[in-house]
Chains A and B, each alone.
Chain A
Amino acid sequence: MKEYHITIRRYSPAEDRQWTQEYRVPFPESGEVSVMNVLDYIYRRLDPTLAYFDHAACRQAACGKCVMKINGEIRLACKERAQEEMLLEPANSNVVRDLLCRM
């Protein structure tokens, strides 16, 4: 198994609080894994409170809505291959919750 080290900048609107959280995500050695796959793993297995765009997601780089900052670059989470060390941040300052922004 390969282990991904993920750092996520989070924001709670209810508490109006920002913080940084780290996760370690195991994935098989072979095969392509997207940033979206990693986020799904965190939601399902580690932290069900993590928010990122997925309520009307094409997951095929067509809708363009899962945009976020991945290691400082604006990218689509579904199109970008996961890297072993990643810093994930909201795409802009108009944050709804965690990685979800108003565009």
Chain B
Amino acid sequence: MAIKQKNAYDVVVVGSGGGGLRAAIGAAENGAKTLVICRGKANRSGATLLAGANISADIACDGATLHRLGISSKKADDTPDAWFSDILKEGFYLNNQNLLELFVETAGSRLTELKEWGLKIRGMEGDREVSVFGSDILDVLYKKAGELGVTFLQDTMFTDLIVKDGQVCGVVCVDLGEGEIFAVPAKAVILCTGGAHNIFPENSGSTDLCGEGQAAALRAGAELVDMEMISFCPTVTRYPLMYKGNILPYIFISTGYGVLLNKYGKTFTQRYLSPKVERLALDTEWNKMLLSYAIQSEILAGRGAAAGGVYFSLPQEPAEVMDELYLDLPPLKKGIYADIMKIFEAGRSITVQPSAHYFEGGIRIAPDMSTCVPGLYAAGECSGGMFGANRVSAATTEMLVEGAKAGASAAAFAAGSDRIPAAGSDLSGIEEELLRPFDRRGGENPGALKERLHALTAASLPVIRCRETLNEALAGLKELETALGAASLQDRERAYNRQWREYMELRNMIPCARAVVTSALLRKESRGVHIRSDHFVTDNRNCLYNVVLFGTDLKERLAPAVMTRERPEDCCQSYPDYIEKVVETME
């Protein structure tokens, strides 16, 4: 049975978070007939929705632009060059400097247009951070895309890129409701699928972030870069179960409220972070990397909570401090946050744990967002290279900057292409692979395989890693890949079949996890968010390279970091000492 083909488009965008919506706007503005494939609801799925727990997301922009827009005068003499240098230090010089140049040069234009399109600015968070709601960003972009005639396909899972003669010419998708597999021919495709958060049992993302863009890109012949670099949010809720994944404790910590306690009820971050580092860095997003390191160290020392993680406590006395809290964070009075506040009011704490939060690495892109496969583009968190070894600045700005560029580039590519998209492509191999578990008997079910995957990633890819567990995980992931090939379903209906969906997710999650483990093994040092207990130094002499992976068997290549403008000091120092030195220069 041949896969049904839908109408062809010039540009298909996969993903409807902020990156996907901005890419669609960019493509449509440049004359492309554009479709967005949305895993869930068009303006309510993807990572953007939960940015800052929808309480305190921020868009970063240089201070001079903020001054010009009348938003803030805190850093009116700021320049793109100064911002460039700061982000480079934050990224420990692994950033692709060509991408970073695009970031600092065009962030102002992206914020300016969002404001013109009606985005509500809710104040300032830092000198370069404008406070907004993630849902507001989505609503503004969705409305704009609609005005430009962009079409949306919702509740649709993207599974594969169609490649013919080395060029991308469409996508294969599944309508999750009906369970129907179909193809959409396209002259160019932009992947905006976000991070692969759900390869981890503990993560701060929504359930749709499963790495389908990264894995499909690999299958299509594109490269991945810096996959070992994953930011953990230090204080993501682990318990109570009902609020698992919620980053409210991180919002508290970043705003300055509450304390972290070990199993003895004692504070502990001072054991791992010098007073200087605590003073300089804990009120910026540097705290993600630094606190994750401190918390994981305390857990490894055997002083974590019985159920895993550590305790986040929000003392209720004096009452005046609670008044301050509600003044600073008014959303706490309503909805789910009011429910969570009841836990603290009852004198209890929340158990928190460093959890997968942001993927610095991803699909390798050029400054025009193209990949090495003609017709294939990537933008936002599923792409890699912008932030190097540690993101401190805003991922929202990244998605806007890269999305706009990818949309324009893909539209130009489509306009210059006279190929008939997807004509004559044989998709029976993809169809057979997608439907395979329906015909099997006696294999493991995808839910059980996902639990095995989570056990492997939790053991091998916490904040602090080492060769032994990484090697064990690599062997386990290879076994898992074989088991997935033999997996079978108990649920045999095509319509909204969760087991089948989990099978299709694992088809992407296992290669993503393998890519992360492989890259983590290849980086034999500690840099930024990648910490190796068996290589506890930052080595600028030997390790200023990006780990590049390609092919479904994950061939590897170490590429010198793209340093067109600035180089770091030539040194090799212990990880904490190096961080202290970097943080000092940020003052």
Contact = CB atoms under 8 A, between A and B. Distances in A.
A63 B493 contact: no
A12 interface: yes
Nearest to B248: A60
A64 interface: yes
A49 B241 contact: no
Interface stretch (B40-48, B74-82, B407-415, B422-430): B40-48
A55 B242 contact: no
Give the contact-size bracket for chain B. 35 or more
B71 interface: no
A56 B498 contact: no
Interface string A8-51: 00001110000000000000000111100100000110001111
Contacts of A100: 177, 496
B207 A62 contact: no
Contacts of A13: 493, 495
Contact of B50 (A14, A48, A55, A62): A62
A60 B46 CA distance: 13
B240 A31 contact: yes
Contacts of B243: 32, 60
Given A32-B240, A59-B207, A79-B339, A49 B49 contact: no
Given A58-B49, A60-B246, A14 B494 contact: yes
Chain A residues touching B, majority SS: loop
Interface residues on A, range: 20 to 34
A82 to B, nearest CB: 8
B241 A32 contact: yes
A55 B501 CA distance: 8
B45 A63 contact: yes
Nearest to B343: A32
A78 to B, nearest CB: 8
Contacts of B382: none
A31 B245 contact: no
Contacts of A37: 241-242
B242 A51 contact: no
Given A57-B208, A60-B336, A62-B135, 18 more contacts: A14-B493, A31-B242, A32-B240, A33-B240, A48-B499, A50-B498, A54-B207, A54-B498, A55-B176, A56-B45, A57-B40, A58-B49, A59-B244, A59-B245, A62-B50, A65-B41, A96-B495, A97-B177
Interface of A: 12-14, 31-34, 37, 43-44, 48-51, 54-65, 78-79, 81, 96-98, 100, 102
